[in-house]
């Protein structure tokens, strides 16, 4: 088990290292490096000036040596300075990270708490109207453009009903728990709806598969109540793959919340990524993208490890 | 796993007797029956055909209405439906109906091309990995796993923000609206090939061991010939199903990137970029955000149901309920 985790951790680390270079190279291809910005700001700049500036910023160096310089400072815990925020990158990330975790955790817990019983409920009555309705809802969630759902919720709750704020994290000068929850309502609603659809879909499918197996018939023949069969026998077995999917979904939420954060102007990691890329804040973009990649990779690793740990039939090979 | 409609029961084909040899025609009929029994898939197919025909007929509608979808009319901003603008006008006084139809052409073009290109990449990688096996296989599959594990949306945003001029594309070309279509196709297909690759690799691994492949190898067929003439025709069904199922998510990716201003560039309309300013216009012209979003939703859900029905009909083994 330990060896299995260690091997997978090593693989994750290698992939992260490769991705850090890929991201660095891609960001280097984006418009608006410090020289472009300086040239735009000062029309009198000569090509010689630009060249000198390039040397000051180290942009005349080949990409690999620039990357190695970034890597060595990153490994020492220094992610350089954010141009947009005028703060060290690390200090910019922290508050955004907490806000995203807050948003994600609330909607993930809500979605899981609703989706698992809903999936079981639908699977227990296959080919009824209840089942069709649940499945239709799952398909609708999978096909719904997240940004449009956000726009619809804003239109209904913020513009028409004026019940909830359309954007932001808190009212300036307030920031009490109630105020934050009030602001969280719409983004949480949007994310939760989409997550319920995704998780229910898997839950229903798994349950239908498990309910068809022989040991379920045995349990029923034994005279166990329907409830006992569903929750005692079937759910326990269906939960094994579901745990994996939940871990994956949680990692995916990190980039999945991106659209919701942008539409609702929620100052979390997703919005930070977007603003950093559009605002040519290369240091920030590099760090945030890498961090998001790390979280997604760790969620994948977590999914594999829990899968192996929960199911005794799986060996750590 | 996902069939909304009950799957075919054993008695659904009364004329087929157990053990009877099925002709090609019987099989085709059986598949059609299975597809038809998935009523939502059938309805989706009809919806898709209508939407595709409508979008293809955009120039005809343009001719009938006698209007240009890009003509700005500052006297008639954000109007409701009227005789000469059946769905009203947008924030620049352009005809909404025509822009929806032309936008649909872009969304469909991107959907089909990116899903197709992803299928080609995935098939090549899957065939090579499955056929050659060994370290080559594990290297390609590690790579595939790596791509699957990446956060796709942030990556797509970075890829769409890349300055094509830095890659040596001329400035005129890099900023033309047409190139925004093709770059989105390339970007989306670069992250969408993994499912097909895994599928094709798995199928290739098992087909490689079958007698007819061994016979072909014994007769001296080259690796290329075995892969493309003997193995590929036997994996087309799952490829078609997986590709159809992926069109929906491709269209969603395109619409979200265009919504963020990173995809299809104006003045070329797309359903995503028609919603870019929806938020600012929400108080004054909420009707403008209805149609583009609704059409994205309808076309994506139709592709998903259609793909689901196709899977039930063509590839029943992949089905779990």
Q: Could you give the C-alpha distances from B279 to A261, A262, A288, in angstroms and in order?
A: 14, 11, 26
Distance CA(B25)–CA(B293), nearest Å, equals: 41
pLDDT in tens, A6-43: 888 888 888 889 989 998 888 888 877 767 777 777 77
* pLDDT of A253 above 50: yes
Rounded to a whole number of angstroms, the distance from the CA of B289 to the nearest CA of chain A is 8
Chain B neighbors of A154, CB-CB under 8 A? 279, 282
Which fold is adopted by the domain B56-320? MetI-like fold (1.10.3720)
Q: Is the ipTM of this complex over 0.90?
A: no
Beta carbons of A143 and B301 less than 8 Å apart: yes
Q: Could you give the C-alpha distances from A120 to A41, A113, A124, A198, A204, in angstroms and in order?
A: 61, 12, 6, 14, 6
pTM of the model: 0.87
Beta carbons of B166 and A29 less than 8 Å apart: yes
pLDDT in tens, B71-102: 777 777 777 777 677 777 777 778 888 889 99
Average pLDDT over residues B262-280: 86
**b/e A105-120 (16+ beta carbons within 10 angstroms → b):** ebbbebbbebbbebbb
Chain A neighbors of B286, CB-CB under 8 A? 155, 159
- Report the run of H or E that residue A18 belongs to, with start and end: helix A2-28
In this prediction, residue B11 has a pLDDT band, given cuts at 50, 70 and 90, of very low
Q: Could you give the C-alpha distances from B205 to A132, B44, B121, B202, B209, in angstroms and in order?
A: 37, 34, 18, 5, 7
Average pLDDT over residues A100-115: 92
Interface of B with A in 230-249 (CB under 8 A): 248
Report the pLDDT value the prediction gives residue A314, as an integer from 0 to 100. Answer: 67
Beta carbons of A145 and B252 less than 8 Å apart: yes
Q: How many residue pairs bridge chain A and chain B with CB atoms within 8 Å of each other?
A: 135
Q: Determine the residue of chain B that is closest to A260 in CA distance.
A: B256
Q: Mark out the alpha helices in chain B (DSSP H runs).
A: 24-37, 39-56, 58-65, 96-132, 134-148, 152-161, 171-174, 177-192, 194-207, 211-218, 223-225, 232-259, 278-281, 290-314
Alpha carbons within 13 A on the beta-carbon side of A271: 20
* pLDDT of B18 above 60: no
* pLDDT of B112 above 80: yes
The domain spans of chain B are: 56-320
Most confident of A70-79, B122-131, B134-143, B171-180: B122-131
Interface of B with A in 14-43 (CB under 8 A): 40
* pLDDT of B125 above 90: yes
Rg (CA), chain A: 24
Distance CA(B134)–CA(B147), nearest Å, equals: 20
- CB contact at 8 A, A145 and A263: no
- CB contact at 8 A, A236 and A149: no
CA-wise closest residue to A298 among A261, A263, A251, A253: A251
Q: Could you give the C-alpha distances from B285 to B85, B292, B297, in angstroms and in order?
A: 16, 14, 20
* pLDDT of A188 above 90: yes
CB-based contact (8 Å) between B255 and chain A?
yes
Across chain A, what does the average pLDDT equal? Answer: 85
């Amino acid at each position: 088990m330990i060896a299995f985790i260690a091997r997978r951790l090593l693989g994750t680390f290698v992939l992260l290292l490769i991705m850090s270079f890929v991201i660095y190279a891609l960001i280097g291809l984006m418009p608006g490096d410090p020289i472009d910005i300086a040239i735009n700001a000062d029309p009198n700049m000569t090509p010689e000036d630009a060249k000198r500036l390039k040397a000051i910023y180290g942009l005349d160096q080949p990409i690999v040596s620039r990357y190695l310089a970034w890597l060595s400072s990153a490994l020492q815990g220094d992610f350089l300075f954010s141009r947009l925020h005028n703060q060290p990158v690390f200090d910019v990330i922290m508050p955004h990270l907490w806000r995203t975790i807050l948003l994600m955790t609330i909607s993930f817990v809500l979605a899981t708490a609703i989706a698992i019983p809903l999936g079981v409920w639908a699977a227990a009555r296959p080919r009824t109207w209840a089942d069709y309705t649940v499945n239709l809802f799952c398909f609708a969630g999978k096909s719904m453009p997240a940004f449009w759902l956000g726009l619809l919720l804003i239109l209904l709750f913020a513009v028409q009903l004026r019940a909830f704020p359309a954007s932001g994290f808190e009212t300036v000068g307030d920031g009490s728990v109630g105020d934050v929850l009030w602001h969280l309502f719409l983004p949480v609603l949007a994310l939760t709806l989409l997550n319920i659809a995704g998780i229910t879909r898997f839950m229903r499918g798994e349950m239908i598969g498990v309910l068809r197996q022989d040991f379920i018939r045995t349990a029923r023949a034994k005279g166990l109540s329907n409830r006992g069969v569903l929750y005692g026998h079937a759910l326990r077995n269906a939960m094994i793959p579901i745990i994996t999917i939940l871990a994956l979904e949680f990692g995916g939420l990190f980039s999945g919340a991106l659209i919701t954060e942008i539409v609702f102007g929620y100052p979390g990691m997703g919005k930070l990524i977007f603003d950093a890329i559009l605002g040519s804040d290369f240091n920030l973009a590099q760090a945030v993208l890498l961090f998001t990649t790390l979280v997604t990779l760790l969620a994948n690793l977590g999914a594999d490890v829990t899968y192996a740990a929960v199911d005794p039939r799986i060996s750590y090979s | 796993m996902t069939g909304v409609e009950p799957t075919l029961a054993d008695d659904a084909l009364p004329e087929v007797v157990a053990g009877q040899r099925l002709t090609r025609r019987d099989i085709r009929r059986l598949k059609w029956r299975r597809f038809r029994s998935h009523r939502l898939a059938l309805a989706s197919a009809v919806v898709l055909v209508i939407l595709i025909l409508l979008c293809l007929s955009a120039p005809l509608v343009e001719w009938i209405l006698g209007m240009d979808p890009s003509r700005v009319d500052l006297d008639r901003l954000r109007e409701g439906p009227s005789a000469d603008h059946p769905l009203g006008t947008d924030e620049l006084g352009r005809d909404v109906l025509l822009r929806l139809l032309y936008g649909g052409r872009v969304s469909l073009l991107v959907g089909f091309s990116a899903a197709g290109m992803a299928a080609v990449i995935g098939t090549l990688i899957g065939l090579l990995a499955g056929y050659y096996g060994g370290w080559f296989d594990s290297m390609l599959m590690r790579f595939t796993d790596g791509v699957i594990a990446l956060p796709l949306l942030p990556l797509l945003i970075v890829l769409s923000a890349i300055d094509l001029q830095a890659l040596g594309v001329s400035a005129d070309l890099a900023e033309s609206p047409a190139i925004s279509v093709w770059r989105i196709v390339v970007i989306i297909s670069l992250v969408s090939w993994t499912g097909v690759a895994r599928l094709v690799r798995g199928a290739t691994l098992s087909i490689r061991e079958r007698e007819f492949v061994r016979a072909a190898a014994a007769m001296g067929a080259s690796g290329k010939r075995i892969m493309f003439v003997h193995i590929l025709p036997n994996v087309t069904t799952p490829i078609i199903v997986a590709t159809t199922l992926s069109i929906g998510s491709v269209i969603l990716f395109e619409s979200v990137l265009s919504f963020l201003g990173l995809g299809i560039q104006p003045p070329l309309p797309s359903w995503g970029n028609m919603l870019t300013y929806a938020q600012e216009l929400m108080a004054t012209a909420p009707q403008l955000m209805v149609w583009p979003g609704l059409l994205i939703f309808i076309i994506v859900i139709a592709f998903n149901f259609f793909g689901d029905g196709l899977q039930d009909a063509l590839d029943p083994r992949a089905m779990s309920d």
